[in-house]
Amino acid sequence: MRKRRFDVLVVGAGPAGRGVSILLQQYLGIRNFSVVDRYGVGASFARWPKEMRLITPSFPGNGFGAFDLNSIAVGTSPAHSLQCEHPSGVEYAAYLRAVAEHFELPVETGVEVFGVEPDAGDSLLHIHTSLGPRTTRFVVWAAGEFQSPRTSSFPGAESCTHVGQVGSWKDVAKDQALVIGGAESGIDAAVNLARLGASVRVLDPHFTLEDEASDPSVVLSPYTRRRLVAAQRRGSIELIETPQVVEVRTSHERYEILGADGSRFRTGTPPILANGFETSARLLQPHFAWRDDGCPVLSADDESTVVPGLFLAGPGVRHDHHVFCFIYKFRQRFAVVARAIGSRLGIDVEPLEALRAEGMFLDDLSCCGSECVC
């Protein structure tokens, strides 16, 4: 019979859920924990558009002390195991499955989490799932974001095709395309559509191509920028700086996009919507305080300030203007969460200190920071 009471329950079997679980198991020796996921290990990555790639490059540098930017655990390297520099979503999902199997992590798939109910009387958290109730002392919410595309940002947005709903750009490629949003996902869509022969217009209130910042949470990554410049030289992508889109109107299979300044753009194909994703923490909205930017307020240990014992891991983590929306960023917070949980369980957390040298333990937020537009 399966255990229904745990010390820790991790929700999400993507890179954040896997990464935190490995620290709990390998560094702190915690065994009474479970990882649950609605679909499977790395399922969100497997649903990426076929042509999409990780923008951060992987390189097998573990042997000489350089940690692969896309790795979630010391001693592993997507570049080495996959033999590629910019993995596709399917390839990265394969890496995550290999990591889960190697560390023999207790993963349960096909488990949908409906809610978390705190019990102030005994400091436990009761989890309502499709396989029945679970009780735990701590929850690490690591459900990711890709499964929650922003499809209702303005009237008519539902008539657009969100990048998170595309299986392959070959399925939507036409002679012409219009993309709403000029950050990473929007430019990636434009580049891939242009490669398939489309003439592409991209609408965005501000393009940050000439910004001197080096943080890809603020400006385009070198990988994406290089591909964009090549497409512009061929004349296949036009960047149009326009105020925020406020509505999309449809009539007789024609689409009219309205800007806040009254500008209008027309296209004969559904616009591509690249306005990002909602944090999955929204599913637990009453259990977090919320910032003005729509991200949850977190303690210094990435814990909810409303419900003790509820932690957040992954791209939705924010502290002031510090953004952790890429793997090499949010993995630096895994040890922060693990340390907080281990300390409260009375476990020696000193083994986690070794991770500082590996770039997996950032608890001093004074050394980084930027505002995210990814």
Domain boundaries, the chain: 5-147+277-367, 157-273
* Token code pair at residue 217: 């949470």
- Distance separating alpha carbons of residues 341 and 24, to the nearest angstrom: 9
Q: Which residues, 6 or more positions from 332, have their beta carbon under 8 angstroms from its beta carbon?
A: 324, 359, 360, 361, 362
Sheet hosting strand 254-259, strand order edge to edge:
245-251, 254-259, 264-267
Q: Which two tokens stand for residue 321?
A: 């203007």
User: In the structure, what pLDDT confidence band is assigned to residue 3 with cuts at 50, 70 and 90?
Assistant: low
- Burial class of residue 87, CB neighbours in 10 A (0-12, 13-18, 19+): buried
- Pick the most confident of 1-10, 123-132, 216-225, 303-312: 303-312
Choose the weakest-confidence range: 97-101, 139-143, 276-280.
276-280
CATH T-level fold of 5-147+277-367: FAD/NAD(P)-binding domain (3.50.50)
Mean pLDDT of the chain: 90
Contact 98, 91 (CB under 8 A): no
For 231, phi then psi, to 5°, come to -70, -35
Mean pLDDT of 290-314: 95
Strands 176-180 and 310-312: what pairing? unpaired
Of 14, 42, 49, 39, the C-alpha closest to 165 is 49
pLDDT band of 42, cuts 50, 70, 90:
confident
Q: How confident is the model at residue 374 (pLDDT cuts 50, 70, 90)?
A: very low
The reported pLDDT for the residue numbered 245 is 95
Residues 134-152 pLDDT 10s: 999 999 999 988 888 888 8
Chain segment 206-252, per-residue pLDDT in tens: 876 665 666 667 788 889 999 999 999 999 999 999 999 999 999 98
More confident of the two residues 76 and 373: 76
State the burial class of residue 368 (Cβ atoms within 10 Å of its Cβ: 0-12, 13-18, 19+): middle
Lowest mean pLDDT among 51-65, 97-111, 250-264: 51-65
Band (pLDDT 50/70/90 cuts) for residue 366 is: low
pLDDT at 212: 60
pTM over 0.85, yes/no: yes
Q: What is the mean pLDDT of residues 189-209?
A: 91
Q: Per CATH, which fold does 157-273 belong to? A: FAD/NAD(P)-binding domain (3.50.50)
3-class DSSP string for 115-140: EEEEECCCCEEEEEECCEEEEEEEEE
Are 5-147+277-367 and 157-273 in the same CATH fold? yes
Exposure on the CB side of residue 221, measured as CA atoms within 13 A:
17
